[in-house]
Structure 1
Amino acid sequence: MLRGKKYSLLHAEWGLIITFALILLVLNIFILYPIALLLYKAFEEDGKITLANFMYYFINKSFVEGLLNSLVLAFAVVVTTSLIGVPLAILMARYEFPLKSAFLNMLLIPMILPPFVGALGLQYILGEHGSLNLLLEELGIIKYPIPWLYFRYYVDIMGYRLTIHLGYILVETLHLFPLIFLNTLASLYSIDPSLEEQAEVLGAHGLYLLRTIVMPLVMPGWIAGAILVFIWSFTDLGTPLMLGFPNLIAFQAFSEFKRLRESRLSYVMSILMVLISISIVALGRRYLSLREYAKVQSGLSGSRREYKVRGLKLVVVYAFLIVLLAFSLSPHIGLILTSISKSWVLSILPTEYTLDHYLAILSPTGVTPGLLYVKNSLTYSSVAMLIDIVLGAAIGYFLVRREFPLKSLLDYLSMIPLAIPGVAIGIGYYVTLMNTPLDPTLRADIPITISLTFRRLPYTVRAAYAGLLQLPEDYEEASLSLGASRLKTFIKITVPLLAPHLIAGGILAFINAMLEVSSTLILCTRPRYGTVTWGIFQVAQNPLYGVEQASALGVILMLTVLLLMVVVNKVMGARLGLVYRA
């Protein structure tokens, strides 16, 4: 029987060999080469390889403080998201209570907006004279406004002054905790229930069982989520731009690049972000490879250990979930209220409402070309999604069904975009395509589409990979036994069976392409090529109803992504966390 075997690529048909070679070539050109060129540029000065650019960076105190600030804040966000996401995952995986499915769906809503758009929505909620402060003042709880978004804490270490932006931590936490939650939940669902049952027979219960058995088993999922949270918060550009936090490395790299397109310092900072992000991924995988418990998960989907919640415990559970949802959805509520407010000054809620902001951005004759931004985003993301589905299906097939010497390289190249910051990808593509027919200063639509395609490729690769692991090979074997080639079998048999996973992965790629901020801010040089996120940032700078119109654009983006997330959740269910693995 052929079942369960991985076939060597060396004995495959020429069609598969050529397909594999083409995929490897494409990944090298569009993923590896831009970063390699960026690395060369960071070390190059007047045609010579030198460390002068790095030396100048590290002797500049403000730049080093920006790097340290970003690292500290990223680790802080990992801690805060874990404090929310891990208990939440345990609650959802181990306990049964009314309305659980509804809460589970609502907990994914924070993911439908990039953090910087959420920061826009929080301005009127958590601003110095925002709704929360006004409410607390009316209740007599506080006498003076609390700067929720702009509170800073300074720490002096070895001559460097670190700035802890609590508002940054808050915004990132509210948006990123679902990454920890989803990955931990996926790991909890994959634990063999018999392991916990055996531990209970030996006397382990409660917190001791959780600490010694459950938590070690979910460590792979938690680390996967923590890596994604760290990289996102460490390299996020939109949030510090929107809140005005200039002493972070992503902000500094962007500012240097905008000041001087050939700025070697922007290349140095981009490479530092890449190296640190890749190092975090490598350390996480290395740690897991050394731990025996990382290999004892069964991946079973059979009976789960769930306990009924009743009485006072149920009240506590509901209170926890309602408070969490109130905070995590406050950016979205604030965005909606801002988009329909005509007058909102020193009041808990708007005193006058209007739809004029939507009419202004959606009108073909309006000053703000909102329809153009929406059309561009849909076009770029759709093209990127289709390419990602094709590449993801092929790469997943080679990784799961074939055995060949360059397999690890293919896996690495297809997943490395998750570890590459958007700022670095944007600058890398800009430098690569400069003075070519695809120069972003001439037309940015194709460079942006290329960037979105390969930045979001890992989502379809992981979806295809997870689907193929669950897909029995019987139908493929039957096709081969009837004389069909492997390439024809893949197209006619494997792809149709894999379609639900490919569609879900494709929609996730589409969603995250729509939400992309950093690379589009760098590659888009003209309004006619702007995306929704680019438009939100630009429109928000307008002092006359800019924030309100930007919020209206944000609501349109939010509703689009929410609809797609509902579809993905229906298709993938609890397996959604597997797609977000780093």
Structure 2
Amino acid sequence: MKEKKGIGESIARLMKDPSSLLLVLISFALLFLFVIYPLVFVVFIPSAENWGTFFSKSRYGTALLNTMVSSSLSALLATIFGFIYAYAINYSNIAGKKFFRFIAFLPLLAPSVMSGLAFLLLFGRGGMVSQYLKTWFDIELDLYGLPGLLIVQTISYFPLAYMTITGVLRSISPNLEIAAQNLGARGFKLFRTITLKLALPGVLNAFLLVAINCFADFGNPKLIGGNYSLLAVEIYGEILNNEPGLASVMGIILVIPALLVFWVQNKLLSKGSYSTITGKPVSGLNRMTTSRKTDIALFTFNSLISLFIIAMFAITILFAFTKNFGRDNTFTLDHIMKVVFNPSSPAVMNSLVLSLISSILAVAFALVLAYVIVRKPFPGKGLLDFTAVLPIALPGTFVGLALIVAFSSGPIILQGSAVLIIVAMLLKQMPVGYRGLTASFKQIDKSIEEAATNLGADSRRTLTTIVFPMLQKTVVANFVYAFMKNMNTLSTIVFLITPKWVVAAVSIFNYAETGTYYWAAAVAVGLMAATLATLGVMKLIFRSKVKIFDF
């Protein structure tokens, strides 16, 4: 018997399953309220005068050009560094690979703004390295502006490129490389014609992912950009000046290159990766590794990157646990007690609570969305799918701007509430979980759920007793990712915080901007400790279901 199709039949089936109908309606309502409504609001709020102001003042054009240049260069450098770092770990015989994997994981624990803070402590006008060079070699070090921004964003986002590329390199079968070597390809020719070509889709994907993050970066440009103005910083200034219309214009302009990058990324991913069908691998087949000279070069490169990252964390810890490192090196817990454990400065605790709530809700919502879109036929499925992934293409600065503009007036006012911060965090992290869970749902045979339905289980019971246990590992992994990102987020929520709901990343930024570096460092250490402690508890609970400290 041929299965009936069409909108009418889809609606009829949905009406017979109240649980599914409720899930679909809730999904549409939430995405319309917190995605479509704010975006429409922010698009229509600017006046003709606001648009005229943007295009008539050269400073805004310069900020746009600077954003494009710095984001592209930072993404390029981070991708190159990430590739070399990953290649060294996967294709060489260097010692200390487990250590290098651990070092690449470290920056993920810290907010990106901590990179800017550490840069100031090391290379700022009063930084340790700057003072040493001035005292001993009479060299005035001035890295503010584009040079400093490139350094900080490269170090901040190279782990993202590394993780993307290392997965691609691991998946390349050694069969083709060995075959090419047997046919005469050696050294750089083998690398250029085989390895690099097979890894190219992953490399391009890493570049685009990093570029999207660089477009949205706010804290680092504000701290070390100097006179090198970027759009994200200009938007922040216009919000402080109570110019939401002009800020919205710049937000819309900022979204255009980000959406373009997102579109290109999706086009590349839709074509798939370059893969090799070689049949069953030969037993005991080992990947070809680099020469002794190349190993030395790769070990040196990874060591320098690791040294820089260790120096960033070390200087932050030293400032957190001394009275004023470099001037008074006396050990103290005063800074930690004042800004971490002081009830009047609850930034770290706020981050922990809000991140946990937002991450749980993000994964739950992603699970529901993936379930109804993959499993349930209903009108508007394509629209719901598009709206679900849209926030990942939008810079965090724009998402925060849209939420504060839309919900500071009108029928629903959420300005100043923790709800708006949770929503902002959820919107940025939910699409990642949704994509992963959608792929997982497609790998599960639908007949298992149909059998449960035939035995009388509705959608709610099927989802909680059949589907969720089968996807537990994916759900936990997405929760870990969302939690770490939420703990460290700044640009998405910088417009939304209030004196009651200040979070750790914003506190680090505020203290660094006012020059109280020891308090900024103390908050950064407290934030990382809270993140590590939470992940440790999760590791104890879920054990092998989640890999956090396995390098």
Normalised by the shorter chain, which TM-score bucket? 0.7 to 0.9
Q: Which residue of 2 aligns with 1:221?
A: 202
| Residues 283 and 317 (structure 1), Cα distance of their counterparts in 2 relative to 1, 3 Å cut | closer
Residue 579 of structure 1 corresponds to: none
Residue of structure 2 in register with 1:121 after alignment: 118
Q: Which amino acid aligns with 1:128?
A: R
Asked if the contact 1:190/1:298 (under 8 Å) is kept, the reply is no
1:153-552 equivalences under 5 Å are 165-200=146-181, 202-243=183-224, 245=226, 247-260=229-242, 262-287=243-268, 289=270, 294=273, 296=275, 305-307=286-288, 314-345=295-326, 351-364=329-342, 369-370=344-345, 372-401=346-375, 406-435=380-409, 439-441=413-415, 443-468=416-441, 471=444, 475-476=448-449, 479=452, 482=455, 484-485=457-458, 487-524=460-497, 526-542=498-514, 546-552=516-522
SS of the equivalent of 2:492 reads: helix
Corresponding residue for residue 35 of structure 2: 31
Which residue pairs with 1:553 in the alignment? 523
Please provide the CA RMSD for this pair.
3.3
Q: Distance in 2 between matches of 1:419 and 1:500?
A: 26
Seen in structure 2, the aligned counterparts of structure 1 residues 103 and 69 have a Cα distance that, compared at 3 Å, is same
1:418 is displaced (CA, Å) by: 1.8
Indicate conservation of the 8 Å contact 2:355/2:425, yes or no: yes
Asked if 1:79 is matched to 2:79, the reply is no
Give the TM-score normalised by the residue count of structure 2.
0.86
Q: Does 1:144 align with 2:117?
A: no
> Does 479-488 or 373-382 show the bigger shift?
479-488
- 2:58 is aligned with 1:61: yes
Counterpart CA distance in 2 for 1:123 and 1:498 is 44
Q: 1:294 to 1:311 in 2, by over 3 A?
A: closer
Aligned in 2, Cα 1:190/1:32: closer, same or farther, shift over 3 Å?
farther
Q: How much has 1:299 moved relative to structure 2?
A: 13
Give the Cα–Cα distance (whole angstroms) in 2 for the partners of residues 277 and 39 of structure 1: 16
Counterpart Cα distance in 2 of 1:386 and 1:396: 15
Tell me if structure 2 keeps the 8 A contact 1:274–1:424. yes
For residue 215 of structure 2, give the secondary structure of its aligned residue in structure 1: helix
Give the 3 Å change call, closer, same or farther, for CA 311–427 of structure 1 in structure 2. closer
Following superposition, the deviation at residue 503 of structure 1 comes to 1.2
Cα 1:573–1:250 shift into 2, 3 Å: same
Task: Classify 1:342/1:130 alpha carbon distance in 2 versus 1 (closer, same or farther; 3 Å).
Answer: same
The CA deviation string for residues 462-487 of structure 1, in whole angstroms up to 9 with x for no partner, is 33235445556675465456554455
Does residue 1:101 correspond to 2:98, yes or no? yes
Letter in 2 for 1:418: I
Structure 2's unaligned 5+ residue stretches are 1-8
Mapped partners of 2:535, 2:183: distance in 1: 43
- The answer to whether the Cα contact below 8 Å between 2:20 and 2:372 also exists between their aligned partners in 1 is no
1:236–1:250: 8 Å Cα contact kept in structure 2? yes
For the residues of structure 2 that align with 1:395 and 1:300, how far apart are their CA atoms?
Answer: 36
Q: Secondary structure at the match of 1:527?
A: coil
Report the CA distance between 1:166 and its aligned residue: 0.5
On the 8 A contact 2:340/2:526 being kept in 1, the answer is no
Q: CA deviation at 1:425?
A: 1.2
1-side partners of 2:280 and 2:374: how far apart? 20
Q: Which amino acid aligns with 1:229?
A: V
Partner Cα separation in structure 2 for residue 234 and residue 359 of structure 1: 35
Distance 1:340-1:271 versus aligned 2 partners, 3 A rule: same
Letter in 2 for 1:259: N
CA contact (8 A) 1:193 1:304 kept: yes
The structural deviation recorded for 1:75 is 0.6
**8 Å Cα contact 1:190-1:299 kept in structure 2:** no
Q: Which moved more, 1:97-106 or 1:243-252?
A: 97-106
User: Structure 1 residues 95 and 307, CA, compared in 2 at 3 Å: closer, same or farther?
Assistant: farther
Contact 1:189–1:304 at 8 Å: present in 2 too? no
1:85–1:177 Cα contact (<8 Å) kept: yes
| 1:483–1:496 Cα change, 3 Å | same
Deviation at 1:235, TM superposition (A): 2.3
Distance in 2 between residues matched to 1:86 and 1:304, nearest whole Å = 24
Query: Counterpart of 1:518 in 2: which secondary structure?
Result: coil
In the other structure, the counterpart of 2:6 is: none
- Give ranges in structure 1 of 5+ residues lacking alignment: 1-7, 153-164, 577-582
Q: Deviations over 1:107-126 (max 9, x none)?
A: 11112222222211222212
- Out of 63-72 and 411-420, give the one that drifted further: 411-420
Checking the alignment, whether the CA contact within 8 Å between 1:235 and 1:249 is kept in structure 2 is no
Secondary structure of the structure 1 residue equivalent to 2:494: helix
Would you say the 8 A contact 1:41–1:267 is kept in 2?
A: yes
1:555 Cα offset (Å): 0.8
Distance of 2:278 and 2:27 partners within structure 1: 30
In structure 2, relative to structure 1, the CA distance for the partners of 1:306 and 1:75 (3 Å cut) is same
Does structure 2 retain, via aligned residues, the 8 Å contact 1:179–1:229? yes
Distance in 1 of aligned mates of 2:419 and 2:280: 43
Aligned length: 531
Describe the shift of the 1:221–1:342 C-alpha distance in structure 2 as closer, same or farther (beyond 3 A): same
How far 1:188 moved relative to its partner? 2.2
* Counterpart-to-counterpart distance in 2, 1:470 and 1:300: 22
State how far apart, in whole Å, the 1-side matches of 2:286 and 2:208 are. 28
Give, in angstroms, the shift of residue 326 of structure 1.
Answer: 0.8
- Once residues 412 and 310 of structure 2 are traced to their aligned partners in structure 1, the CA distance between those partners, rounded to angstroms, is 40
Tell me the alpha carbon deviations over residues 314-338 of structure 1, each in whole angstroms, 9 at most, x when there is no partner: 5544333221101123322221111
Structure 1 CA distance for aligned equivalents of residues 324 and 350 of structure 2: 31
For 2:472 and 2:357, locate their aligned partners in 1 and report how far apart those are by CA, in whole Å.
18
Task: Give the SS at the match of 1:351.
Answer: strand
Query: Once the 2 structures are TM-superposed, how far is the Cα of residue 534 of structure 1 from its aligned partner?
Result: 2.0
The alignment-based identity, stated in percent, is 24
Provide closer, same or farther for how the CA distance between residues 523 and 21 of structure 1 changes in structure 2, counting only shifts above 3 A: same
1:462–1:105 distance in 2 versus 1, CA, 3 Å: farther
Structure 2 residue matching 1:352: 3-state secondary structure: strand
Q: Report if the CA contact (8 A) 1:121-1:334 is conserved.
A: yes
TM-score between the two structures when normalised by the length of structure 1: 0.82
CA distance in 2, matches of 1:513, 1:90: 30
Q: Distance in 2 between matches of 1:493 and 1:299?
A: 36
